[in-house]
Structure 1
């Protein structure tokens, strides 16, 4: 076109050229996009990823044009954010089926995304690489982690220590190491545990290179056992034994620590070859036993709390880490204690006296009774010899009876001090347990804590006057059998007076057992044949009754054939009969 003509019509040539260029550019772009779009669809085989353009949204579905003779349909929920779906937007979809019952081709955006995501993952990662993703849900055997495509994290690979409930990880981001990639199955297995172990091993090596005994370090309680607690020092666990937790008494580590507690501990020992570390908590403070003699001198009075009771005594805490033993023998001057629980209970506050200290063995001997006056120090003034007392028979032994004079103070009534004339075989013949009796204090031994008592001393000794006056050799008396032995029988001749009828004095014939002749309780007539005041014995005889009678008859000229040769004459005064009541 002639430029002069254009000027004549006031037309700007440059503006026309720009407009034509813009029209041509738009047409080229449109043709180029259409060419690219339709050229990308090479076939319509099921399982192929196609490019399409969103035409409209119809209910719960999105209509997509893929260049096929009919449009395809994609469920709306397969879009990450259905509210942001834009008409004309280009999307990638997977062809699932051609011309289904509705006359449309069936498409899936989610499956297409997964295929593309898998291709991107395969191109970007390999086995051994580190990846990070968000846990989406729990499945059988483990968790699914989203990193563009779902990958499998087995439950055994979640942590070093098996977690209680793996569902707690849902929604969390986790960093894992790729263990296996199966391209044919489009499957990836990852491990968080492997990564933790590797990181822990690295930290362990660094820690072992710098850790030394005497250092103070922070750690986290990872496990608690009966014998102690395991502390994670950052790559390496150390053992804090229960004996190194406190200077005081603890029954279980859980009294001081809980899992996940952060604690500051002292390194006691390090075995780098065996990778073992011994830790201490109490060693951060001074041993309270260092100045024990200054704080608790011997003979000082202190107060403490009963913290443990054993059969042999009670342990009293004077302060944290300082405990002393009150032996059962140091609990009371007077009470007879079978078990310490009769005197104290756990938690009781008691006053004690320090008896002895062994700093090396960390032992303190304490006494409760030393805080009171020893009643045995005044026992002699309170019960001098000759004092009459009344008490209860507390116990019987073969050699005597223990009489309770006052609470905790017993006196011994020996078997030999029970009767002047009667031979006592066992205390039960005179007293019974629980009886209230009167006795006389014979002696007091304060050092040995003994009081000797007498029962017979309440009356005069019959051997000094009564027995010599009442009985003469040759007297015929009556008595009751009170006891039988293999060597004879004891007869009661009066209150508290006994005589022995020896087995040889029963008959001129040989007797094997007195029980074959007499019984306990039988009343017999016997002759007194011996009186020994020094030995306090009276000898009796049955056979001497017949011997004396025969001798008397022979001397009277009556029945001289029945006299016995060798029998001594019995004086007339010996033939007197005495009836002892």
Structure 2
């Protein structure tokens, strides 16, 4: 068998014997050398690990002598630290091929190291054992950890909470538990998460056995949600609900805490079966509502900050945990407020009066207007009936106009108090929004907070003296058509004096529409047929002019520039009155 191997590698046994005899004369030495040489030859099989010696460095390669007839070369990169390579030092290498194209044997130190490392790992560890290694690089699905051989740490097994970027672990030493060893594929899968969970479970059981309601514990904020924060108490996460973070108003837990913050919390409740713990932060300080009545007695004036605005009012913080509501009705004595934002903005400092306290419901009613004198308590003294005021027309309605007497105090100028004699259909006929006018205070209702104003009362009532003296039944008067209705036309007979020319008094013939006979702006001569002082009405007639003169409109030419209906005279605006006379 030995001779066959020598023959295979072109080695002549006689040559070996002669060389040996020349070097040593002892038979024992000869046998020992031959045995070592034969052993070396026998191990030259592809895939076997050989012991070699570093002969020299050649460029980027290291020349290795393995006792074969030709040397092999290994790239320097296969050494962990090329700077520490020493000539004459022994190394283990893997025989990949007996001879390559250059006639050298093909060797690999890296593969030999892997095989030896794998053998050491298999001999030393089994599934379930704990190992420590350094993370070398990131690969698809996880990390490679070096513990003599590369082992695989899946991303899902790095931590209990999935890390954002697993690259942060490169270069770090990690301790893991072996989950699986595949000898066939030379693959090992490990888990760091498993050890963390085991450690947490151990701490959790210890924690559950010793914590009690009311204890103060230190913890670290691990997660924040809209409803609260999870605090790691050391093996067990407790929930700190948003309502238990502060006695004051909190919109989101992040206003109070941040992830990784270290906090002291109180144990509020423990469910050992479900392994749940409720925590509190505000409970570490006294509830400010306990002494609320002594600190903020009803009727006291205090200052606070507007922290929230709703459609029905504004919330004012008096101190942390104490907020009161200023209802929209308690914001102003006089202003008509549609929304609280017209009066205050978030962040404003305001002075308020405490109206009511409900300690059980933890509610305080506040007032802004109570800090000022109610102007309606002195309104009667300030504006007695008959007082002339000047104000601005703030708003118009169908029934009148609101006049701003002073800031927040409006008076109503009713449509019926705008003119003595003129029939007013809408306030806009007399005043316009924004106008500055003078008016008279007619009455003040302090309870209902109303002030009645009059415009016509600035002058004497023409019906008392002027109209009875100036107008008699049967008189012929001149007037301008100011308004047409379906029942007749209104004529202005003088400043503030108006008369009605009823449709039945337009003509001896039937008239369906007053506009068929007269137009707005026409100047007419009419006869006074009725005066009603109590009803404040003057009745006029156009057809009575016919009866008095005994003339007919038919005698006039249609081409004439004047218009006469059955003898009544109509003078168009801009015409000569003489030219409009009837012959």
State whether TM-score is above 0.5. Answer: yes
Equivalence for 2:432: 432
Q: CA deviation at 1:444?
A: 1.9
Q: Name whichever of 540-549 and 254-263 sits farther off.
A: 540-549
Which residue is equivalent to 1:261? 261
- Of residues 202-211 and 217-226 in structure 1, the stretch that sits farther from structure 2 once superposed is 202-211
Specify whether residues 232 and 292 from structure 1 end up closer, same or farther in structure 2 by C-alpha distance, changes over 3 A only: same
- Structure 1 portions without partners, runs of 5+: 1-26, 552-581
Structure 1 window deviating more from structure 2 (270-279 vs 452-461): it is 270-279
TM-superposed CA distance for 1:56, in Å, is 5.5
Separation in 2, partners of 1:499, 1:411: 30
- 1:12 matched residue in structure 2: none
- Per-residue Cα deviation, 1:127-152 (whole angstroms, up to 9, x for no partner): 33332211011223321101110011
Structure 2 matches for 1:61-460, cutoff 5 A?
Answer: 61-82=61-82, 85=85, 89-101=89-101, 103-208=103-208, 212-460=212-460
Moved more, 392-401 or 519-528: 519-528
Aligned partners of 2:464 and 2:109: how far apart in 1? Answer: 133
1-structure distance, mates of 2:407, 2:279: 53
Whether contact under 8 Å (1:41, 1:51) holds in the other structure is no
Instruction: Deviation per CA, 1:495-524: give whole Å up to 9, x if none.
Output: 111222233333444433333333222233
Q: Deviations over 1:393-451 (max 9, x none)?
A: 11111111111222222221111111111121111111111112111111222232222
> In structure 2, the residue corresponding to 1:463 is in which secondary structure?
coil
Distance 1:299 1:88 in 2: 101
Q: Give, in whole Å, the separation in 1 of the partners of 2:61 and 2:494.
A: 130
1:473–1:528: 8 Å Cα contact kept in structure 2? yes
By how many angstroms is 1:491 displaced?
1.9
Give me the whole-angstrom Cα distance separating, in 1, the residues matched to 2:463 and 2:371. Answer: 50
How many Å apart are 1:211 and its aligned residue? 5.0
The whole-number CA distance in structure 2 between the counterparts of 1:130 and 1:54 is 37
**Cα distance, 1:276 vs. partner?**
4.0
Q: 1:363 to 1:29 in 2, by over 3 A?
A: farther
Report how many residues are paired.
525
**2-structure distance, mates of 1:273, 1:37:** 73
| Worse-superposed segment, 211-220 or 318-327 | 211-220
333-342 vs 454-463, greater mean Cα deviation:
333-342
SS in 2 for 1:448: coil
Cα distance in 1 for partners of 2:34, 2:85 equals 21
Query: Normalised by the size of structure 1, how large is the TM-score?
Result: 0.82
Q: For residue 13 of structure 1, what is the aligned residue in structure 2?
A: none
Preserved contact between residue 40 and residue 67 of structure 2 (Cα < 8 Å): no
Deviation at 1:488, TM superposition (A): 2.5
Instruction: Tell me the residue number matched to 2:49.
Output: 49
Instruction: Go from structure 1 to structure 2 and tell me whether the alpha carbon gap of 1:335 and 1:41 turns closer, same or farther (over 3 Å shift).
Output: farther
The 1:386/1:33 distance shift into structure 2, 3 A limit, reads: farther
Q: What is the rounded CA distance, in whole Å, between the counterparts of 1:41 and 1:335 in structure 2?
A: 112
- List runs of 5+ in structure 2 lacking aligned partners: 1-26, 552-583
Higher mean C-alpha deviation, range 89-98 or range 464-473: 89-98
Task: Look up the SS of the partner of 1:468 in the other structure.
Answer: helix
Match of 1:572 in 2: none
Mark the CA change 1:210 to 1:174 in structure 2 (over 3 Å): closer, same or farther.
same
Tell me how far apart the structure 2 counterparts of residues 125 and 141 of structure 1 sit (CA, whole Å): 24
- Tell me if the contact between 2:266 and 2:283 (Cα under 8 Å) persists in the aligned partners: yes
Q: Report if aligned partners of 1:245, 1:280 keep a CA contact under 8 Å in 2.
A: yes
